Structure 1
């Protein structure tokens, strides 16, 4: 639905952005009309609309659905039935979601046209080069020979010598106002052969090697998610000595055997460079890795990664390693559709809002209200409203209708309206609209858990410890049941033993409980309904093992997000096998003041 324009022309890009946001309502109506008229003959729409394809009939007769409601149609296409049961154009690929938020990967239909629309809004920088870490995921095919890929794999597969694929974004090197946005071409520093290597370990090693050899040319670094960029930094921490040896001798390590990696790295590792190796070794061997990114890549202007929602917990470590580099979160998208862009990329990570692009899909919203006191479902008397009718300060779950065959499909995310850019709303990504923990009447959502852990981990800082990652579960093996948090800890000081005092962890347990809602805290009274919260510290690398488990089941390394609650028995066994200490809350959190206030 975007008009034709030259994406290399920043004035043309700005004009399009201004137009689609100013005329948000008209464009949304046009998008819906185009989707319905184009797909009028599909089995799905005919079944509900009975020949009436106007907006009013759409609103009245089409149900709001989840993936489970739609799965049978996807399965039929995967098993060989025609794409026209849901869409008028061929489904060229089924995008596989990460599977870590909902537990099971979903298959999302995508047409070639929809893919082209999304490509105009991804990333780039005109000055210098980018060291952005992406990894190919093993793909499969359905019975009907439709490729099943992650979105990142789709992008990487599009980058071939015959198909010059250009990525664009807002340039973070400039101080951009809401009305002065430019889109600039990006040049990636490592060859596409390395990024498309199917062996993630070899790919990561060689991408880092390319980046270190060309350290002076790197203007920005990053990865799709904050967590994946930190995994790269941890990998660098384990392999910097070997990387230095490669640079010093001019030869790559013998365990790098992949032909694509060898071909890609040969363009840069052509001669010994002991001087460069010495510079890198000097920085990496220092006691603290604070500002290691800035020290290794002195001309870098920013770190780019998604840092909203559950990724926000990684911001302190990104800032620690970045040494003052801006942390930029550029866009909000999903396998279902691209949703919005950050028109103020240099804002603080905690202030990131995404401006909706009204031409990308037809957007509706369910208002989310947490009725936690009564323990009810968060969607109380849901009313579906249009994009332009959302209200500032309110929380919503987006419902999308796309050109690729999704109709009134719930994304499961929670977005908070922060304002408007012209007539298009701006949203802050809050998290997933999902209860992650519940024992009795309590319902703890992802946002609640993240906020509680954020408060508790502040108690670690005076002792030079940091929380690397965490997840949770409910333990019903004893009565009453209780919350269990798995924490992987690290230190800002090199080689320091990760052994915080028990009383520190016990206070962390209590702080988490104090930060949860009154229903939880009331349930904790005298340990009658909910038992004391437990923190289990796991050994270093435990969450890498957890990631490897999910990757082995089809999750993409680039798209992987640590699940905030684990129910899979095999995954729990991995975590339990790595536990090195256990601590419980020794105090009962207060609740009376809140109860008195709520009863008025």
Structure 2
């Protein structure tokens, strides 16, 4: 709040001069002032970040005190704020439940039980801090990226933790003037009609992948719409439409840079599990373009801040709060029923931890299921990299192949399929497939969407099985003994996974918890979702 007041005081006299200029001069002048204000605000924010990360134990204690300013419970009456150790003793961890009937039967009532306690959004002050630092990093790393009209968002959701306050608003581009903010097609048309874009924005890499897939499927209609213009929004643009048609006819390889020659960077949020989508975009539509993720998001809130905009696999600084974050040692899960959580300053480099978030309104300590690895430190705070999600593992005979191991094996196998590029995938245990499976031994059912390959052969399936054996010695041993059968691979038709994500977003019973973005499961555990994909299998 004090940072916003400082901005307003600095810009108040300049605002009076702003109204005296012509509309065109006012826009350019306002943009220059916003850039200068961004530098001031980012410097102030960086100083506060330094202070909070140098004394992380004290910062987390203050965050916990803020949590107790609201609700009171029988274990912690008003006026009594426990220290960090007694807080962990008084409030046990609460894990989300997975109803066994929902896993096997697929009823909506059971599916609705797979959820985390509802979390409050990330406090505005923390979100603003991350947004200011990220905008400033973008400006310094990619000169000219924040030119007026140079940014287009292609999805309804934003990659930034919060919107910019009024003095900095000229730097942001939300939606076309007069256009419906709830219409994704309008956002895409606005971007296509503007040749001089510098930055593309999308909520996540997966959402951006869906946008480009839709562009490939309906490009002729979009080109016609650009040529005809939109009443009250954009004029006729036959020349731009002809240019778009020429580029789109050449296919998806490097399409983004051909449509927008001045494009510098793609901005998306990292929500975990986005590596496949980023790889697919980087190999086709966004070839040659760097990606920048301002923040790491989990359970509907911002958890980590990216301080290295040029890294393709960035690390995220875990902020001391709010919200209040703890770390649960991942390597102790099999040894103890209830391992003790650690504070941020107690983390060890190279170790893996599950994130634990405390909901300020209910004082609920909930493990999120996101496992991260500490790769470095910023002062006393750990910098982490997402590794995998717990619960997203395959286990038909005790082999327990995690999401990251399976994903790596699948990417390795697709690399051996000539001409194929992996766009998306999901898999399930064969018990959920029922009559569609003829194999007797338990095995995996794998659903993939590809570019450059129209059908799958037995050789393709054999290569995936070989890569899985190389990635997991336990799986290899079980395959040798015949306890697990070979993986069955299904090719899903174009747009099948986009339809699956739309189903997950539109059906509350399928969404694991209320968050941005809705979690895309890699391991399907509900029969209804498996049957949904089976109806879209083409090979």
TM-score of the pair, normalised by structure 2: 0.79
Tell me how far apart the structure 2 counterparts of residues 154 and 341 of structure 1 sit (CA, whole Å). 11
Decide whether aligned partners of structure 1 residues 105 and 408 sit closer, same or farther in structure 2, where only a CA change above 3 A counts. closer
Residue 574 of structure 1: CA displacement?
A: 1.5
Q: Aligned residue for 1:11? A: 43
> 8 Å contact 2:299–2:368 — kept in the other structure?
no
> 8 Å contact 1:21–1:423 — kept in the other structure?
yes
Q: Aligned residue for 1:92? A: none
Q: Aligned residue for 1:94? A: none
**Residue 319 (str. 1) matches residue 282 (str. 2):** yes
Tell me how far apart the structure 2 counterparts of residues 64 and 501 of structure 1 sit (CA, whole Å). 47
Tell me how far apart the structure 2 counterparts of residues 446 and 505 of structure 1 sit (CA, whole Å). 19
Q: Aligned residue for 2:256? A: 293
Decide whether aligned partners of structure 1 residues 281 and 366 sit closer, same or farther in structure 2, where only a CA change above 3 A counts. same
Q: Aligned residue for 2:367? A: 410
1:114-171: CA deviation from partner (whole Å, max 9, x where unpaired): 24542442364632432123327xxxxxxxxxxxxxxx7998xx97xxxx85698xxx
Tell me how far apart the structure 2 counterparts of residues 3 and 409 of structure 1 sit (CA, whole Å). 31
Q: Aligned residue for 1:142? A: none
**Residue 485 (str. 1) matches residue 446 (str. 2):** yes
**Residue 365 (str. 1) matches residue 327 (str. 2):** yes
Q: Aligned residue for 1:30? A: 62
Q: Aligned residue for 2:208? A: 229
Tell me how far apart the structure 2 counterparts of residues 19 and 195 of structure 1 sit (CA, whole Å). 42
> 8 Å contact 2:299–2:516 — kept in the other structure?
no
Q: Which of 559, 564, 570 pairs up with 2:517?
A: 559
Q: Aligned residue for 1:213? A: 193
Deviates more, 1:531-540 or 1:305-314: 305-314
Q: Report SS of the residue matched to 1:247.
A: helix
> 8 Å contact 2:3–2:44 — kept in the other structure?
no
**Residue 190 (str. 1) matches residue 199 (str. 2):** no
> 8 Å contact 2:151–2:200 — kept in the other structure?
yes
**Residue 468 (str. 1) matches residue 423 (str. 2):** yes
Residue 189 of structure 1: CA displacement?
A: 5.7
Q: Report SS of the residue matched to 2:331.
A: coil
> 8 Å contact 1:416–1:427 — kept in the other structure?
yes
TM-score of the pair, normalised by structure 1: 0.71
Decide whether aligned partners of structure 1 residues 566 and 10 sit closer, same or farther in structure 2, where only a CA change above 3 A counts. same
Q: Which of 76, 88, 103 pairs up with 1:46?
A: 76
Decide whether aligned partners of structure 1 residues 14 and 50 sit closer, same or farther in structure 2, where only a CA change above 3 A counts. closer
**Residue 356 (str. 1) matches residue 366 (str. 2):** no
Deviates more, 1:476-485 or 1:389-398: 476-485
Decide whether aligned partners of structure 1 residues 189 and 291 sit closer, same or farther in structure 2, where only a CA change above 3 A counts. farther
> 8 Å contact 1:308–1:430 — kept in the other structure?
no
**Structure 1: runs of 5+ lacking an equivalent:** 70-100, 137-151, 169-183, 198-202, 253-264, 371-375, 492-496, 582-600
* Root-mean-square deviation over aligned CA pairs: 3.3
**Residue 130 (str. 1) matches residue 159 (str. 2):** no
Tell me how far apart the structure 1 counterparts of residues 201 and 282 of structure 2 sit (CA, whole Å). 13
**Residue 531 (str. 1) matches residue 497 (str. 2):** no
Residue 56 of structure 1: CA displacement?
A: 3.2
Q: Aligned residue for 1:241? A: 220
Q: Report SS of the residue matched to 2:350.
A: coil
Q: Which of 549, 573, 578 pairs up with 2:531?
A: 573
Query: Which one has the bigger helix percentage?
Result: 2
Residue 378 of structure 1: CA displacement?
A: 7.7
Q: Aligned residue for 1:91? A: none
Q: Aligned residue for 1:310? A: 273
Q: Which of 442, 453, 476 pairs up with 2:410?
A: 453
Q: Aligned residue for 2:32? A: none
Tell me how far apart the structure 2 counterparts of residues 454 and 103 of structure 1 sit (CA, whole Å). 32
**Residue 502 (str. 1) matches residue 468 (str. 2):** no
Tell me how far apart the structure 1 counterparts of residues 323 and 524 of structure 2 sit (CA, whole Å). 32
Decide whether aligned partners of structure 1 residues 68 and 103 sit closer, same or farther in structure 2, where only a CA change above 3 A counts. closer
**Residue 550 (str. 1) matches residue 504 (str. 2):** yes
Deviates more, 1:52-61 or 1:339-348: 52-61
1:548-568: CA deviation from partner (whole Å, max 9, x where unpaired): 322330359972443111122
Q: Report SS of the residue matched to 2:261.
A: coil
Tell me how far apart the structure 2 counterparts of residues 444 and 188 of structure 1 sit (CA, whole Å). 42
Decide whether aligned partners of structure 1 residues 434 and 545 sit closer, same or farther in structure 2, where only a CA change above 3 A counts. same
**Residue 338 (str. 1) matches residue 308 (str. 2):** no
Tell me how far apart the structure 1 counterparts of residues 334 and 304 of structure 2 sit (CA, whole Å). 27
Decide whether aligned partners of structure 1 residues 482 and 68 sit closer, same or farther in structure 2, where only a CA change above 3 A counts. closer
Tell me how far apart the structure 1 counterparts of residues 55 and 112 of structure 2 sit (CA, whole Å). 35
Tell me how far apart the structure 1 counterparts of residues 241 and 532 of structure 2 sit (CA, whole Å). 37
Decide whether aligned partners of structure 1 residues 415 and 560 sit closer, same or farther in structure 2, where only a CA change above 3 A counts. same
1:199-229: CA deviation from partner (whole Å, max 9, x where unpaired): xxxx22111111111221x221131211110
> 8 Å contact 2:159–2:267 — kept in the other structure?
no
Deviates more, 1:390-399 or 1:307-316: 307-316
> 8 Å contact 2:427–2:445 — kept in the other structure?
yes
Q: Which of 343, 346, 351 pairs up with 1:389?
A: 346
> 8 Å contact 1:457–1:467 — kept in the other structure?
yes
Tell me how far apart the structure 1 counterparts of residues 112 and 369 of structure 2 sit (CA, whole Å). 9
